[in-house]
Chain A
Amino acid sequence: MARLWNSILRFLFRRPQVERELDAELQYHVDRQTELNVERGMAPAEARRNALIAVGGIEPLKDECREARVGRAIETLGQDLRYGVRVLRKNPGYSSAIILTLALGIGANTAIFSLIYGVFLRPLPYRDGGQLVVLHQNTKQARQSDIGFSPLEVADCAEHNHTLNGVVEHHAMTFLLLANNNAERVATSVVSVNFFDVLGVKPLLGRTFLPSDDNRTSAVLVLSYRYWQSHQGGDPNIVGRVFQMNNMAHTVIGVLPPIPQYPVESDVYMPTWQCPFRSNPHNIANRNFRLISHVFARLKPGVTGQQAQNDLSVVASQIYSAHPETYPAGAGLQIVADPLQSDLTHDARTAFLVLLAVAGFVLLVACANVANMMLARLLKLERELAVRIALGAGRLRIMRQLLTESVLLSVAGGALGLAVAPLSLKMLVGFASRFTPRANEVRIDGPVLLFTLAISIAAGLLFGLLPALTPWLNAGHSLHGARATATRGRQLLRASLVVAQVAVSFLLLIGAGLMIRSFHKMGAENPGFDPSHLLAMRISTGFSRYQDSISQRTLRHNIASKVSAIAGVRSVAFTSNPPFAPAGIIAGPGSQSFEIEGQPASRGAALPTVDLTVVDENYFQAVRQPLVEGRYFTGRDADDTPAVAIVNRTMARHRWPNEDPVGKRVNLGGQNWITIEGVVGDTREYGLQHPTLDELYLPADQAGGATSLVVRADATADALLQSVRAAVHEADPLLAIDQVNTLERFEFDSLTPSRLMTILLGIFAGLGVLISASGIAAVMALAVTQRTHELGVRLALGARHGAIVGMVVRQGLVLALCGTAVGALAAAVLARLASTLLYATSPTDLPTYAAVAVVFLAVAALACYLPARQVTAIDPLSALRQE
């Protein structure tokens, strides 16, 4: 190794001396040989000549000696680079076309890779993030497989396992924080006191929680960095400030560093005892009170994920067999431990990998295009190369120089692509945040730059190697002045390149087509109510006021009378969960277990579950959800009248397939039997793409919690949103209002992930088509130029221009058709892998394939026709004279 360095250093810094020594050494040899020859009786001139012949000439010998040195490789590279830059600068059109094509391909890949790296590959920003696991308690039931944990279950897991250190819990709540007589909704994480210690997070200011904070007397808060910045102005003296929450004074003890927060972005953190629900003794004692959504733990040193899983399975079966009444065997419960890393990115996997594959395909199309352009140029260079070979240049040397040129081009393309990639990053991060909390860690930094450099060089070698390896060295032929004619092999290579890039870009277009169709189908779903001119807002009363049905009724009445007074408001209604509202869409449907009268669950089987929504008596009419049977709620369904409910049509068919559900009774635990009074139409309130599930509606006066507002107006304008909001605060200034919007906009937002995915695929497919269309056009143009003579003969013999244009276009279209066929086959196979991204669309949806083929072939025909028109410019006479 040291020797290698010495050689390189000597080459770099002592070249003149090395050269001088070489000269002197060979000169000495020739002189001595000359002297010897003279001694043997030759004339001095002849003696010298013979000596030179014996070594085969000084200059070639010197070159051979240099070849024996390591530094030689560097020198050659330098020469090739200088030559390459010169050649590329002399052909600016050619170079910039290639660089631009590659910049698009490499830029797209850089952007997508930064996404993949940030989400999947970047180490978690915690101490030894690889040791962190997330526990889930799952059931076999389809509706909601992850049911969370109750406090007793977490305690059991912590106590009985042998493989985990520090089992900590997390659940998210929304509380009202009172500051300056203003109620503010704060996203609150309720965590174990050792939560930050297990994750290994150190505070930016103050401290995190200590075991002594579990004292049940003085409430404390840790603020997230983002909340501290955005709502507390980054106040450096924030530690020690006191806020009112849940009727208690909460003291700020610390601020977190700007780390990504899992599993949710929260404003504040508090220990478990401060959560009014988590600390309620009834709830703590109830094994079915599964409020805790995430349990984190750290693997003990040396423990593998599989060992932890086996250990937890044992713990789980102990828990389940100790309490058979809580855990019916039929529920299929189990506790699983996933690495935190995969848990956080699980939802993003398919979409992101599809994007990566698609970006890779675009780059392949770009490479094929560039390879074709280089082949075409090689054709023009044939004579020059033949001359160089005849003058003694090695073939390997020329090949190396061609490769240097192509890598030079691709690195330039990569640099330009790197400049473009950040422009798309903001959109990509927004897109990623719909799938994973790690989206904020996406940025372009060292590893991404390395990736870009690597794919740039790889792309350069890929498209450079193809032309360099083709049989272009028909040297003698070219030198004799014969017109450079494309050999059959090379024509075949160029044709296959076109077919390949057509196939890949057709595949991309099919992908985009399937996404568009699936998105269209999603948007065309009937929501089951009329979202136009509806607006909604979430209103939170906090946990200290409006706790009984009478005060809630008064509040609703007050708000309704203020809001109804606004001009343009038609009707006002209340619900626990406005349809399409972000909170509901993120959380998904709930799963309240219930019992049907006359259909007792068999021993050991799990109870059926249902999503519950509480609505007031005006709700169904306000959102125009149709009544199928029975009756809507009325103002007489109050806390002193018999308990009633309404089910949706899906539930009616599901639970009472051959009976009339009206009059049937269910109960939600306890002995409070509820009579079903009506059946309403199905809605897709959790997002248009989510099929309707069983839904049970309860009246506001009997169930409570229906405090979110839905308003139907003559027209929806932002001004109206503002005045409704003001009216609510007029009724009670301490209500927290958020998620304010029109239902149409909520609906639009709920489709955003699919829309963005569709747009991204569309952009990539468009790029692919654009690039391969230009590839087809370039190849056809070259074909016409090369065949000028032949076409001239045909014209001279009386062929009409139109017929010749037709012939050229036909030949191009044959290539396009081959590519299309291959692409369609590939699409049929590959689209299946991504079928989870599709909605109600088969991966081999025939109409999509047909439509895409028509569009694609039209573009291909145009790409053939434009260069074929050159034919009309051929003058038969001059074409013939060319020879």
Chain B
Amino acid sequence: MGKPKSDLLQGTLDLLILKTLDLEPMHGWGISQRIQQVSDSVLQVNQGSLYPALHRLEEQGWITASWQTSENNRQAKYYELTRRGRKQLAEEKDNWLRLSAAVGRIVGEV
């Protein structure tokens, strides 16, 4: 390992999932892989918390699920954003940018 690793901030997982699904519909395992790759393995999504989060988001109506054939020719549960989910993503993205900009200013000044 030896790589720098960071625990996910509370609530950030929802944003990462929504953002990942914004690109294309994806199954759970794919989401975890994608987040890891895109973040250069800085963000290790705890696979144990990914699935409850997916179910919670589905319950809230931000994503929907359907069974499709996956890249290795098996049936997998694919999630995609709903209209409400897109709205939610935009909102959370704004929040995140504001927050990280503020934190960046403080940290940068020191």
Within 8 A of A (CB), among B34-80: 47-48, 51-53, 55-56, 59, 61, 67, 70, 72, 74-77
Instruction: Please determine whether A7 and B29 come into contact, CB atoms closer than 8 angstroms.
Output: no
Q: How far is the CA of A56 from the CA of B59 in the complex (A)?
A: 23
Instruction: Please determine whether A68 and B56 come into contact, CB atoms closer than 8 angstroms.
Output: yes
Contact residues in B for A883 (Cβ distance below 8 Å): none
Q: How far is the CA of A410 from the CA of B28 in the complex (A)?
A: 46
Binds B, one of A23-31, A306-314, A709-717: A23-31
Contact residues in A for B67 (Cβ distance below 8 Å): 21
Tell me if B27 counts as interface (CB < 8 A to partner A).
yes
- What 1/0 mask marks residues of chain A from 60 to 104 whose CB sits below 8 Å from any chain B CB? 110011011110000000000000000000000000000000000
Within 8 A of B (CB), among A25-75: 25-26, 28-29, 31-33, 35, 54-56, 60-61, 64-65, 67-70
Contact residues in B for A54 (Cβ distance below 8 Å): 47-48
Chain A contact surface mostly: helix
Nearest neighbor of A64 in chain B, beta-carbon distance: B52
Instruction: Please determine whether B51 and A61 come into contact, CB atoms closer than 8 angstroms.
Output: yes
Given contacts A3-B61, A68-B56, A68-B59, contact A28 B48 (CB under 8 A): no
Instruction: Please determine whether B47 and A69 come into contact, CB atoms closer than 8 angstroms.
Output: no
The contact of A68 among B29, B52, B61, B77, by CB within 8 Å, is B52
Contact residues in B for A24 (Cβ distance below 8 Å): 75, 77
Nearest neighbor of B27 in chain A, beta-carbon distance: A28
Chain A nearest CB: distance from B7 CB in Å?
15
Instruction: Please determine whether A33 and B29 come into contact, CB atoms closer than 8 angstroms.
Output: yes
Contact residues in A for B55 (Cβ distance below 8 Å): 65, 68-69
Nearest neighbor of A32 in chain B, beta-carbon distance: B29
Contact residues in B for A3 (Cβ distance below 8 Å): 61
Contact residues in B for A70 (Cβ distance below 8 Å): 59
Contact residues in A for B27 (Cβ distance below 8 Å): 25, 28-29
Contact residues in B for A56 (Cβ distance below 8 Å): 47-48
Given contacts A7-B59, A32-B29, A70-B59, contact A64 B51 (CB under 8 A): yes
Instruction: Please determine whether B52 and A65 come into contact, CB atoms closer than 8 angstroms.
Output: yes
Nearest neighbor of B74 in chain A, beta-carbon distance: A28
Contact residues in B for A21 (Cβ distance below 8 Å): 67, 77
Q: How far is the CA of A529 from the CA of B72 in the complex (A)?
A: 111
Q: How far is the CA of A501 from the CA of B74 in the complex (A)?
A: 67
Contact residues in B for A61 (Cβ distance below 8 Å): 48, 51-52
Contact residues in B for A25 (Cβ distance below 8 Å): 27-28, 51, 76-77
Of listed A32, A55, A61, A69, residue having the most chain B CB within 10 A: A32
Contact residues in A for B48 (Cβ distance below 8 Å): 54-56, 60-61, 64
Of listed A3, A65, A68, residue having the most chain B CB within 10 A: A68
Q: How far is the CA of A61 from the CA of B54 in the complex (A)?
A: 12
Q: How far is the CA of A129 from the CA of B47 in the complex (A)?
A: 67
- What 1/0 mask marks residues of chain A from 1 to 29 whose CB sits below 8 Å from any chain B CB? 00100010000000000000100111011
Nearest neighbor of B52 in chain A, beta-carbon distance: A64
Contact residues in A for B70 (Cβ distance below 8 Å): 28
Chain B nearest CB: distance from A32 CB in Å?
4
Chain B nearest CB: distance from A128 CB in Å?
46
Chain A nearest CB: distance from B81 CB in Å?
16
Chain A nearest CB: distance from B21 CB in Å?
15
Contact residues in B for A33 (Cβ distance below 8 Å): 29, 47
Q: How far is the CA of A55 from the CA of B59 in the complex (A)?
A: 21
Q: How far is the CA of A69 from the CA of B55 in the complex (A)?
A: 7
Chain B nearest CB: distance from A18 CB in Å?
10
Nearest neighbor of B32 in chain A, beta-carbon distance: A29
Instruction: Please determine whether B51 and A26 come into contact, CB atoms closer than 8 angstroms.
Output: yes
Within 8 A of B (CB), among A316-340: none
Count class of interface residues, chain A: 20 to 34
Chain B nearest CB: distance from A15 CB in Å?
14
The contact of B29 among A29, A60, A65, by CB within 8 Å, is A29
Chain B nearest CB: distance from A782 CB in Å?
43
Contact residues in A for B76 (Cβ distance below 8 Å): 25, 28
Given contacts A55-B47, A64-B52, contact A69 B77 (CB under 8 A): no
Contact residues in A for B61 (Cβ distance below 8 Å): 3
Chain B nearest CB: distance from A140 CB in Å?
70
Nearest neighbor of A65 in chain B, beta-carbon distance: B55
Within 8 A of B (CB), among A769-796: none
Chain B nearest CB: distance from A655 CB in Å?
86
Nearest neighbor of B84 in chain A, beta-carbon distance: A3
Q: How far is the CA of A35 from the CA of B56 in the complex (A)?
A: 28
Nearest neighbor of B55 in chain A, beta-carbon distance: A68
Nearest neighbor of A31 in chain B, beta-carbon distance: B74
Instruction: Please determine whether A28 and B47 come into contact, CB atoms closer than 8 angstroms.
Output: no
Contact residues in A for B59 (Cβ distance below 8 Å): 7, 68-70
Q: How far is the CA of A29 from the CA of B48 in the complex (A)?
A: 11
Contact residues in B for A26 (Cβ distance below 8 Å): 51
Nearest neighbor of A2 in chain B, beta-carbon distance: B61
Q: How far is the CA of A46 from the CA of B88 in the complex (A)?
A: 40
Contact residues in A for B29 (Cβ distance below 8 Å): 28-29, 32-33
Chain B nearest CB: distance from A434 CB in Å?
60
Q: How far is the CA of A65 from the CA of B76 in the complex (A)?
A: 17
Chain A nearest CB: distance from B97 CB in Å?
27
Q: How far is the CA of A187 from the CA of B66 in the complex (A)?
A: 80
Chain B nearest CB: distance from A54 CB in Å?
5
Nearest neighbor of A3 in chain B, beta-carbon distance: B61
Within 8 A of B (CB), among A501-519: none
- What 1/0 mask marks residues of chain A from 720 to 744 whose CB sits below 8 Å from any chain B CB? 0000000000000000000000000
Q: How far is the CA of A69 from the CA of B70 in the complex (A)?
A: 26
Chain A nearest CB: distance from B54 CB in Å?
8
Chain A nearest CB: distance from B83 CB in Å?
14
Nearest neighbor of B71 in chain A, beta-carbon distance: A32
Chain B nearest CB: distance from A47 CB in Å?
14
Q: How far is the CA of A21 from the CA of B56 in the complex (A)?
A: 15
Chain A nearest CB: distance from B87 CB in Å?
15
Contact residues in A for B53 (Cβ distance below 8 Å): 68
Q: How far is the CA of A26 from the CA of B76 in the complex (A)?
A: 10
Q: How far is the CA of A32 from the CA of B29 in the complex (A)?
A: 7
Q: How far is the CA of A280 from the CA of B48 in the complex (A)?
A: 97
Chain A nearest CB: distance from B92 CB in Å?
18
Q: How far is the CA of A25 from the CA of B76 in the complex (A)?
A: 7
Of listed B32, B47, B53, residue having the most chain A CB within 10 A: B47
Q: How far is the CA of A21 from the CA of B32 in the complex (A)?
A: 19
Contact residues in A for B28 (Cβ distance below 8 Å): 25, 28-29
Chain A nearest CB: distance from B28 CB in Å?
5
Nearest neighbor of A36 in chain B, beta-carbon distance: B33
Q: How far is the CA of A3 from the CA of B72 in the complex (A)?
A: 33
Q: How far is the CA of A68 from the CA of B58 in the complex (A)?
A: 9
Nearest neighbor of B48 in chain A, beta-carbon distance: A56
Chain B nearest CB: distance from A544 CB in Å?
85
Q: How far is the CA of A70 from the CA of B61 in the complex (A)?
A: 12
Q: How far is the CA of A70 from the CA of B59 in the complex (A)?
A: 8
Instruction: Please determine whether B47 and A65 come into contact, CB atoms closer than 8 angstroms.
Output: no
Nearest neighbor of B77 in chain A, beta-carbon distance: A25
Given contacts A55-B47, A56-B48, A64-B51, contact A28 B56 (CB under 8 A): no
Chain B nearest CB: distance from A21 CB in Å?
7
Instruction: Please determine whether A28 and B52 come into contact, CB atoms closer than 8 angstroms.
Output: no
Q: How far is the CA of A469 from the CA of B66 in the complex (A)?
A: 44
Q: How far is the CA of A33 from the CA of B75 in the complex (A)?
A: 16
Q: How far is the CA of A87 from the CA of B58 in the complex (A)?
A: 37
Q: In the A-B complex, list the 6 residue pairs whose CB atoms are closest, starting with the nearest.
A: A56-B48, A68-B55, A68-B56, A64-B52, A32-B29, A25-B77
- Apart from the given pairs A26-B51, A68-B53, A69-B55, 10 other A-B contacts in the complex at a CB distance below 8 Å: A21-B67, A24-B75, A24-B77, A25-B28, A28-B28, A28-B77, A32-B29, A33-B29, A55-B47, A61-B51
23 contacts between A and B (CB under 8 A): A24-B75, A24-B77, A28-B27, A28-B28, A28-B70, A28-B76, A28-B77, A29-B29, A29-B32, A31-B74, A33-B29, A35-B72, A54-B47, A55-B47, A55-B48, A56-B48, A60-B48, A64-B48, A64-B51, A65-B55, A68-B55, A68-B56, A70-B59
Binding site for A on B (CB under 8 A): 27-29, 32, 47-48, 51-53, 55-56, 59, 61, 67, 70, 72, 74-77
